Amino acid sequence: MERFLNILVVDANVKNQAGLKTVLSGGGNNVQVVATIEESKAIIQKKEIGIFILNIDDDFSASQQFIAQIKREFQHRVKYILVMSSEIDSGSKLVKSIHQGAIDFVQMPLNPNLVKVKVDMYKTLYYKDLRINQLLNNIFPSTVLDDLYTKNGFMPRRIEKGVVLFTDFVDFSTKSKSIKPIRLLKKLDFYFTQFDAIMQRYKLEKIKTIGDAYMALAGVTEENPEPAIRACLAAIEIRNFMLNEQYVAKAFKKDFWEIRIGIHQGPLVAGIIGDSKKSFDVWGDTVNIAARAEQGASPGLIEVSKNIYQEVHPYFNLSSKGKIEIKKRGGQIEMFTLDRIQQAWCLYGEGKYASVDLRVKCGLPSVDFDHMRKDILNRLKSLLPAEIVYHDLSHTLNVEKAVVRYAKLEGIADEEITLLQTAALYHDVGFIYCYDANESFAIQLATSNLPRFGYNKQQIAIVCKMIAATQINVQPTTQLEKLMVDADHDYLGRADYYIIASRLRKELAHFGREMNDETWIEFQLKYLSTIHRYHTETATNIRLQSKKTRIHELQQQLENCKKNENIH
């Protein structure tokens, strides 16, 4: 798996700049070299820097102030600070720099091997820290982690209107007896992974699973508006997903699982318990009532309390189930069955997905990217001709992955990353209709289809320009267009170049452009050497070196091919 990080070097010495650029380039390093602290500030404010290397000899006082500023204001954007100096032996500059926040030093004049070893060591630590943070984010809510980092603890807190959502599978105990443990675990993992994605989509927080039960919260660990509505939207999507699974299973005459869902809103206490193994949890009557709502729901249905009904009834169709007994604490509470989103607040009139207005009301992005993505991928899977073996679904997914990687290294905002992903997903959909000038069809489809998913005219125009920029005769002008074009040709500098290029040769042959070995090598050389170029500094840093290697290899292949011709 390829891994990448930004390395920023600040050094006014041109010789040092060139030396560090040469030594550190490659291996997933996106190396940027600037001469002044002011230039580096602009980069740090925009991008996340894995390793920051600063020459403290140029202006020692200013460098100390800047290191302190980084630790004070940009500690989440700069991971490791290394200082360069020719006066390491005295120790005073080094000690002061480490006191301000640097963690290591590089001695000048530079020893390329030592520099590379030192940077590789911190790269390894960077990726380990990244993995640890990912694991912690999977265990604790982000707001809890922030408190643990900054305050070394999390104080228990009371939430007056927290929402609890419970699901469980109908007759799970009986079904689990007839399934092998590994298959049972895989099935649970499949369903819970889908539920996790839905929770993220509606900004709910998964708390835990207990056997086949799944518990999530809204309005407890985050401050997004309308937690009750968001929980209901998530519940409807889970229910519909399970119903679709059921329909497929019935069609193939297979066994299927059914689900029950319950939701309640009320006061909660949230906190962390445990010492050696900490866990975040919530307590209170609200949890018990949500669990009772789920237990009382019929298979395939969603049961919500009166508290939820009072919050969401203007937006959803609900029907009363009457009052039910609450175990242990006693008393009764009225329950309602949640059916669908009302016509005025849903997309396509189906009652399944929230309209743009309802999404905005809930603090969700106006663009429904996840459902757009599912829609376009289904089109590509079902409608792309079998002869399209290069511009196929895997190419689209590779371009999407590459454009996200480039965008994150470039410090692009989340909304613009969504537009980049959209362009990547649509850029080759025109191959469904024709081979040449396919971009025009892709733009037409994007223009007609994207408004259904909440894209406005300005966003659609940006997406269409990015798609148009992937044409050979079009020069990208904006940063987003350049990122899109570079992602489209990311494979030219990857190790799997020849595998992907062979698919292009096969595809071209099917459409009447068959080439012998020599012509095919010449075709590749012409494109890589004279037609193609990377447009962004990130793509150039990451891929150009490997692309040059491909060019050299192809030149050798062409020489060998011509020698063989002369022999024969």
Instruction: Give Cα separations from 120 to 7, 40, 51 (angstroms).
Output: 11, 22, 10
The DSSP H or E segment spanning 459 is helix 457-469
- The tokens for 130 are 């990244």
CB atoms within 10 A of CB 205: 21
**Do 267 and 286 contact (CB within 8 A), yes or no?**
yes
**Do 256 and 246 contact (CB within 8 A), yes or no?**
yes
Q: How confident is the model at residue 357 (pLDDT cuts 50, 70, 90)?
A: very high
Quick: pLDDT tens for 254-271.
889 999 999 999 999 998
- Residue 323's DSSP bridge partners are 334
- Token pair 């070196």 is found at 545
Backbone angles phi, psi at 323, to 5 degrees: -90, 145
- pLDDT reported for residue 269: 94
Question: Would you mind telling me the total number of residues written for the chain in this entry?
Answer: 568
Got the DSSP string for 74-90?
Answer: -TTTEEEEEEEES-TTT
Quick: pLDDT tens for 333-352.
999 999 999 999 998 788 99
Q: What percent of the chain has pLDDT over 70?
A: 99
- Residue 206's DSSP bridge partners are 216
Quick: pLDDT tens for 468-500.
999 988 999 999 999 999 999 999 999 999 999
The rounded distance, in Å, linking the Cα atoms of 328 and 289 is: 11
- pLDDT reported for residue 568: 57
CB atoms within 10 A of CB 213: 15
**Do 399 and 488 contact (CB within 8 A), yes or no?**
yes
- pLDDT reported for residue 503: 96
**Do 364 and 230 contact (CB within 8 A), yes or no?**
yes
Sheet harboring 49-55: ordered strands across? 29-34, 5-10, 49-55, 78-85, 104-107
Q: How many CA atoms lie within 13 A of 376 on its CB side?
A: 29
**Do 309 and 318 contact (CB within 8 A), yes or no?**
yes
- pLDDT reported for residue 567: 66
Quick: pLDDT tens for 30-80.
999 999 999 999 999 999 999 999 999 988 999 999 999 999 999 889 999
Nearest Cα neighbor of 425 from 485, 371, 476, 377 is: 377
Q: How confident is the model at residue 139 (pLDDT cuts 50, 70, 90)?
A: confident
Question: Residue ranges of the alpha helices (H) in 411-456?
Answer: 414-426, 438-449
- The tokens for 510 are 């099917």
Quick: pLDDT tens for 289-337.
999 999 999 999 999 999 999 999 999 999 999 988 877 666 789 999 9
- Residue 30's DSSP bridge partners are 6
**Do 352 and 338 contact (CB within 8 A), yes or no?**
no
- CA torsion sign for 102, 106, 107, 110 is negative
CB atoms within 10 A of CB 39: 13
Quick: pLDDT tens for 206-217.
999 999 999 999
Nearest Cα neighbor of 463 from 422, 431, 430, 432 is: 422
Q: Mean pLDDT across the chain, nearest whole number?
A: 92
pTM for this structure? 0.88
Give the pLDDT mean for 111-115: 90
- pLDDT reported for residue 562: 82
> CB-based contacts of 553: which residues, under 8 Å, 6+ apart?
none
Got the DSSP string for 378-395?
Answer: HHHHHHS-TT-SSSSHHH
- pLDDT reported for residue 178: 85
- pLDDT reported for residue 398: 97
**Do 270 and 220 contact (CB within 8 A), yes or no?**
yes
Lowest mean pLDDT among 55-59, 147-151, 398-402: 147-151
- pLDDT reported for residue 291: 93
